[in-house]
Amino acid sequence: MMLQGKTALVTGGRGGIGRAIVARFLREGARVYAADLTPHGSLAAHDDDGSHFVKLDVTQEVDAVAAMAQVNADAGQLDILVNAAGIEIEKTIEETSLEEWNLSFAVNVTGTFLTSKHALPLMRKAARAGTTASIINFGSYDGFIADPGLAAYCATKGAVHALTRAMACDHGPEGIRVNAICPGYVDTPMLQSFFTGEGSGAAGKSIDQLQQAVRDVHPMRTFGTPEDIANLVNWLASDEARYASGQLWVLDGGLSAQVQQMKL
Amino acid sequence: MRLAGKRALVTGGRQGIGRAIAESFANEGATVTICGRGPRPEDLPAQFIWYTLDVTNADAVNELASTTDGTDILVNNAGVQVEKTVTESVDADWDAVIGTNCRGVFNLCRAFIPRMPGGGSIINIGSISGTAADPSMALYNASKAFVHGLTRSIAVDHGPKIRCNAICPGWIETGMLDAAFELADNPTAARRDALNRHATRRFGKPEDIASMAVWLASDEAGFATGQLFTVDGGMTAASPLNPGLF
């Protein structure tokens, strides 16, 4: 029980990766707020998992203020914030409309900014209470290297990486650690959408063929599960990670440790 | 003539990238000395000074530094590549790769830095493989990471007198590349696949690396030091996983 007595809020908490983080935090003894647009998030259905649902559109400042007011009223402080809400527009810049570009930044970057900004007072209270508070942002390996047809997404994740370092510098002295997880290919609704979309250039192949091809490119010969990501989020959230701040944690089965794999 | 009046030394300059750098430097007005393990190449124009040198031999390197009385520009290009994993590598592989790629660069830098004038520029040839791994190239990948680290150390320790940078080439058209494709089951398909992984849709030429080297050697690069400059046609800007190429 690594998070006993801690309060956590996870944005996108009813989505692919967020849901696994919520489940893990609950098992580790935390009080968990799953913040999302709807109770079932990006999934078709949602079983009651013991988390507290908070309606949160991360692009809306009033929602962020209201969510933190609810956490304040219930728990009085916030030890852990995970900014997992994100969207992916599968297009090149030429195909991307201004509205799609703005929406990408609104959710992935502005959402991280707004939720963190309004969580800070509650996280300072947690830090003053004795242990460090921890913010975990969602970057991506796409913030370092590009996937085809994902231009706005790549750009937002690069922005999250820079924001993570800036927040770590600014709020470290207050006892708040800030890190980003940079997942590679993780089995989520977002990944399935990427497989079936035209942007990846993989149209015409079956999902099974695509998934096997993706596995084969990874040194670990598999892509990740949301639980793999939750394992590292849990560590970063815990007091074991009390000296870890300002870093970008790539978790991708070794994918980006290698140069392009030529078919020789 | 961006390098007029400067003296340059290029190791491993018999062919390929080293030879292209030497020729580009000469075209920009530098006096160029080339070193290689064998005798002077018969086709080397008379304007180039040639020394036979084994960079792993510290005494020989020191003697060359003394004979030439230093240089303004030092290019550590000599390198060897062994295509093996850690468990396949034998001691002789270690001696060959680490001896040339690590010890050799160290030998040259140690001998020449004291004899380089202010404004001198060291250019090491690193590799994209020093940052991300090529399969079955364990010692080579590690040796290039050593070059990257040494580059930063020299920049920090020997600035402001000397600038030191590394160029990290990607896939450059040399005999080695052709040999690799010929070993593939389907050489044509392999070449097409590899080209599609480059945003430029072509492989590099030795001249592509040489043009970066000229800039780094010149006074235009007076504020550039301690950095790794990747010239790879955009290959490492893209993910190794490209669903369009399955």
A45, part of any domain:
yes
Residue A105 Ramachandran class (φ > 0 left, ψ -120 to 50 alpha, else beta): alpha
The angle at the Cα of A158, spanning A239 to A256, to the nearest 5 degrees, equals 80
Q: Provide the domain limits for residue B104.
A: 7-172+205-236
Average pLDDT over residues A82-99: 97
Residue whose structure tokens are 């504020």: B223
CA proximity to A262, closest of B195, B236, B173: B195
Residues 164-223 of chain B with CB under 8 A from chain A are 180-181, 183-184, 189-190, 193-194, 197
**Of A198-212, A236-250, B4-18, minimum mean pLDDT range:** A198-212
What are the catalytic residues of A? 153
Residue B12's pLDDT is: 97
Residues of A with CB under 8 A from a CB of B: 141-142, 145-148, 185, 194-195, 200-202, 205, 209-210, 213-214, 217-218, 255-264
A1, part of any domain:
no
Q: What is the pLDDT of residues B195-228, one digit of tens each?
A: 999 989 999 999 999 999 999 999 999 999 999 9
Q: Which of B241, B242, B245, B246 should be substituted to probe chain A, the one whose Cβ sees the most A Cβ atoms within 10 Å?
A: B241
B180, part of any domain:
no
Q: What is the pLDDT of residues B144-168, one digit of tens each?
A: 999 999 999 999 999 999 999 999 9
Q: Provide the domain limits for residue A203.
A: 7-252
Q: Nearest chain A Cα to B182, which residue?
A: A264
A176, part of any domain:
yes
A209 contacts on B by Cβ (under 8 Å): 246
The per-residue b/e assignment along A242-255, b for 16 or more CB within 10 angstroms, e otherwise, is eebbebbbbbbbeb
* Rounded CA separation A56/B36 (Å): 66
Contact across the interface for A202 and B246, Cβ inside 8 Å: yes
Average pLDDT over residues A28-40: 95
Q: Nearest chain B Cα to A257, which residue?
A: B132
Q: What is the pLDDT of residues B59-78, one digit of tens each?
A: 999 999 999 999 999 999 99
pLDDT of A225 strictly over 80: yes
CA distances from B154 to B6, B74, B98, B120, B151 (A): 21, 13, 19, 12, 5
pLDDT of A60 strictly over 80: yes
Contact across the interface for B190 and A263, Cβ inside 8 Å: yes
Q: What is the pLDDT of residues A200-220, one digit of tens each?
A: 666 677 778 888 888 988 888
Torsion angles phi and psi, residue A115, rounded to 5 = -65, -45
Determine what percent of chain B is predicted with pLDDT higher than 90.
88
B200, part of any domain:
no
A2, part of any domain:
no
Residue A199's pLDDT is: 58
For chain A, say whether B135 makes contact (Cβ under 8 Å).
Answer: yes
SS3 A82: strand
Residue B97's pLDDT is: 98
Torsion angles phi and psi, residue A109, rounded to 5 = -105, -55
Tally the residues of chain A: 264
B2, part of any domain:
no
Q: Nearest chain A Cα to B133, which residue?
A: A258
Smallest Cβ–Cβ distance between A262 and the set B197, B236, B244 belongs to B197
Determine what percent of chain A is predicted with pLDDT higher than 70.
96
pLDDT, greater one: B143 or A192: B143
Kindly give, in sequence order, each residue whose CB lies less than 8 Å from that of residue A201, ignoring residues fewer than 6 positions away.
Answer: A148, A149, B242, B243, B244, B245
pLDDT of A40 strictly over 90: no
CA proximity to A29, closest of A240, A238, A245: A238
The pTM of the full predicted model, rounded to 2 decimals, is 0.87
* Rounded CA separation B142/B147 (Å): 9
Residue A104's pLDDT is: 98
Mean pLDDT score of chain A, rounded to an integer? Answer: 92
Count of structural domains, chain A: 1
Average pLDDT over residues A170-194: 91
pLDDT of A117 strictly over 90: yes
Strand A80-83 to strand A7-11: parallel, antiparallel, or no bridges (unpaired)?
parallel
Residue whose structure tokens are 């949160």: A56
Contact across the interface for B238 and A210, Cβ inside 8 Å: no
Determine what percent of chain B is predicted with pLDDT higher than 70.
100
B54, part of any domain:
yes
What proportions of chain B, in percent to the nearest 5, are helix, strand and coil? 45, 15, 40
Residue A41 Ramachandran class (φ > 0 left, ψ -120 to 50 alpha, else beta): left
Query: The domain that contains B128 carries what CATH number?
Result: 3.40.50.720
Residue A238's pLDDT is: 95
Contact across the interface for B240 and A256, Cβ inside 8 Å: yes
CA proximity to A8, closest of A151, A146, A95, A119: A119
Contact across the interface for A195 and B132, Cβ inside 8 Å: no
A262, part of any domain:
no
* Amino acid at position B210, single letter: A
Average pLDDT over residues B18-25: 98
A257, part of any domain:
no
Average pLDDT over residues B171-200: 87
* Rounded CA separation B157/B124 (Å): 16
Residue whose structure tokens are 């959408």: A193
Largest Cα separation within chain B, whole Å, is 56
B133 contacts on A by Cβ (under 8 Å): 257-259
* pLDDT band, very low/low/confident/very high, at A190 (cuts 50, 70, 90): confident
Average pLDDT over residues A111-134: 94
Query: The domain that contains A132 carries what CATH number?
Result: 3.40.50.720
Residue B70 Ramachandran class (φ > 0 left, ψ -120 to 50 alpha, else beta): left
Residue A12's pLDDT is: 96
Count of structural domains, chain B: 1
A157, part of any domain:
yes
SS3 B50: strand
